[in-house]
Amino acid sequence: MSGTHGTEKTAGPVLGTSTDTVPPEATSATGTPGDKADAIAAVTRVARAALPANGLITDPTELRTYECDGLAHYRVTPALVVLPETTEQVAAVVRACAEHGVPFVARGSGTGLSGGALPRADGILVVTSRMRAIREVRAADQRAVVEPGVINLDVTRAATPEGYYYAPDPSSQQICSVGGNLAENSGGAHCLKYGFTSNHVLGTDLVTPQGDVVQLGGLAPDAPGYDLLGTVVGSEGTLGIATTAIVRLVRLPEEVRTLLVGFRSTDDAGAATSAIISAGIVPAAIEMMDALAIEAAEAAVHCNYPDGAGAVLVIELDGAAVEVEHEYEQVERLCREHGSFEQRLAIDAAERALIWKGRKSAFAAVGRISPDYIVQDGVIPRTALPEVLRAIADLSSSSGVRVANVFHAGDGNLHPLVLFDGEKEGAGEAAEEVSGAILDLCISHGGSITGEHGVGTDKAAYMPRMFTDEDLDTMQLVRCAFDPDNISNPGKVFPTPRLCGEVPGKRKKPHPLVEAGLADAF
């Protein structure tokens, strides 16, 4: 389920209209316009018969609503939008796409930040937002069965009366959908202790790119056979469309303590983070915000963070009361020893919510201090935090491009916000250059180009910086095993997608698409 990567939603940088921000892979490389129109018409007829009367969108103005996800930098108007309500309806549309060679892209709430739900101009956008039933909450089994359009936070709301909750909690959890979380293997503030979506999805009904419905996993912790579920979770919609998810529920903790700690610098906050983890303490969350991110949050939600802080940590401890008490004493001491000048412990749920409101609103809040911004998502070793944050500050200073930092400090998942004004000539390009340099920093320190937002359209060009040609060939062989016709969210993740059936390795003769300038060889 590409597109609701379990992501933090932002307005995103807007550098143009849908006509001038279309990446090359968003349009089909083969087939004449007449062939494409006939194929779309054929799929439209099938969809009209299979879906409710209001389940199709064909009006050009209404289609523009779906031209991008949370990353507004790239925009493509789809040929057709369908809004199925059942697995069978999804399968009928996908079968028609497979029969007529029409690409399709799945989309949930559209909160993704990597362009994972970017439509195809010659394709179908399958929007699952109407598939939002929570079918079962099985407290005795610590499981819930939900449809892909269910909002992340609603799973917790349904499970709380039974004494449970759903642990993965992206900052957009009030609006992002479970299907998108599954597609992007989303994390969130509490992934430090509880893991990512992949640790909490036990099964799914998958509509394959051929339109078949298969069940992967189930209620049991480990299904027999190949770990196909593990392959699908995080595949960004390139292997099919998830239409049901069996998710793991976690028992509500006996006690929760949320601590807001102010530091003079990100160096001090980073050192405190490392000290806490080194002491054997695994908090539910350790989140960091720098001065610029704090400024934005204050302007937006008046969270009342410590005055004069160069950085704050939001630290949450949960578990058995006696354990939380012991960990709190150590955390309080370690923060003090590493330069904290103010510590606040939330005394009730209202104070806890206000502390988290500042952090969880940070991405959108940046819109208060900058008209446009790029949200990045790199990962580094936790011990490299001070060094990398200093390097980001140097990049910002030398380029004149402001960067606000807000991130999951406990596991080194950075979310730099690169600020710019799209109305100023060259500002967008300068921001993109800084954004790319930050990813290079992550790679050079042994990290990754993405922790939870996905590769999508935005970061595909960076894949060769992390992986060899052989690595990428192997990954694409897996994709081809699921989708030999390359119609399921094509053009995403891989910088130069192979045509399935091609032999891996260097080609002796250029492919006709390469000769025509419509594809690259790697």
In order along its 522 residues, the chain shows pLDDT tens digits of 433 333 333 333 333 333 346 665 565 445 677 789 999 999 999 999 999 999 999 999 999 999 999 988 789 999 999 999 999 999 999 999 999 999 999 999 999 999 999 999 999 999 999 999 999 999 999 999 999 999 999 999 999 999 999 999 998 999 999 999 999 999 999 999 999 999 999 999 999 999 999 999 999 888 888 999 999 999 999 999 999 999 999 999 999 999 999 999 999 999 999 999 999 999 999 999 999 999 999 999 999 999 999 999 999 999 999 999 999 999 999 999 999 999 999 999 999 999 999 999 998 899 999 999 999 999 999 889 999 999 999 999 999 999 999 999 999 999 999 999 989 999 999 999 999 999 999 999 999 999 999 999 999 999 999 999 999 999 999 999 999 999 999 999 999 766 676 655 554 456 555 665 555 554
Q: What are the beta bridge partners of residue 262?
A: 312, 342
- Number of CB atoms found within 10 A of residue 390's CB: 14
Q: How many other CB atoms sit within 10 Å of the CB of residue 511?
A: 15
Domain 255-444 has CATH 3.40.462.10: yes
CATH architecture of the domain formed by 134-251 = 2-Layer Sandwich (3.30)
Rounded CA gap, 315 and 356, in Å? 10
Tokens coding 352: 């806890």
Give all strands (DSSP E) within 278-348, no chain letters: 285-290, 311-319, 342-345
In the chain, which residues fall in CATH 3.30.465.10?
Answer: 134-251
Nearest alpha-carbon partner for 102 in 49, 25, 37, 183: 37
What single string gives the DSSP state of each residue in 493-522? S-SSPPPTTPPSS--SS--HHHHTTS----
Instruction: Name the burial class of residue 516, with classes exposed (0-12), middle (13-18) and buried (19+) by CB atoms within 10 angstroms of its CB.
Output: exposed
Amino acid at 367: G
Edge-first strand listing for the sheet containing 80-82: 56-57, 80-82, 124-127, 104-107
DSSP 188: B
Q: Which residue intervals of the chain bear CATH 3.30.43.10?
A: 24-127
Longest dimension (CA), the chain: 70
Structure tokens at 346: 């939330």
The backbone torsions φ and ψ at residue 403, rounded to the nearest 5 degrees and listed phi first, read: -130, 120
Phi-psi region of 266 (alpha: psi -120 to 50; beta: other; left: phi over 0): alpha
What SS3 state is found at 201? strand
Cα Rg of the chain, angstroms: 23
What pairs with residue 215 in β-bridges?
205
Which one, of 168, 61, 72, 160, lies nearest residue 115 by Cα?
72
Token pair of 449, please? 């180009």
Of 409, 406, 421, which is closest to residue 361 (Cα–Cα)? 406
The segment(s) of the chain belonging to CATH 3.40.462.10 are: 255-444
Distances (CA, A) of 67 to 102, 104, 318, 412, 511: 18, 14, 41, 32, 31
- 324: buried, middle or exposed (CB in 10 Å: 19+, 13-18, 0-12)? buried
- What 3-state class would DSSP assign to 228? helix
Output b/e per residue, 154-181; b: 16+ Cβ within 10 A. Answer: bbbebbeebebbbbbbbbbbebbbbbbb
> Residue 202: in which H helix or E strand, if any?
strand 201-207
Helix (H) or strand (E) holding 138: strand 134-138
Quick check: 87 and 29 in contact, CB under 8 A? no
Please state the separation of Cα 257 from the chain's center in Å: 27
For 87-103, what is the HEC assignment? HHHHHHHHHHHHHHCCC
How far, in Å, are 86, 108, 448, 516 from residue 454 at the CA level?
Answer: 26, 15, 11, 30
Structure token pair of residue 39: 């194929």
Cβ(7)–Cβ(176) under 8 Å?
Answer: yes
Give CA–CA dist 470/454, Å, rounded.
Answer: 21
> For position 77, what pLDDT does the model report?
97
Fold of 24-127: 3.30.43
Give me the phi and psi of 304, to 5 degrees please: 60, 50
Q: Which of 109, 186, 76, 176 is nearest to 454 (CA)?
A: 186
Pick from 384, 237, 362: which is nearest to 305 by CA? Answer: 362
Task: Indicate the helix (H) or strand (E) that contains 243.
Answer: strand 241-248
384, β-bridge pairs: none
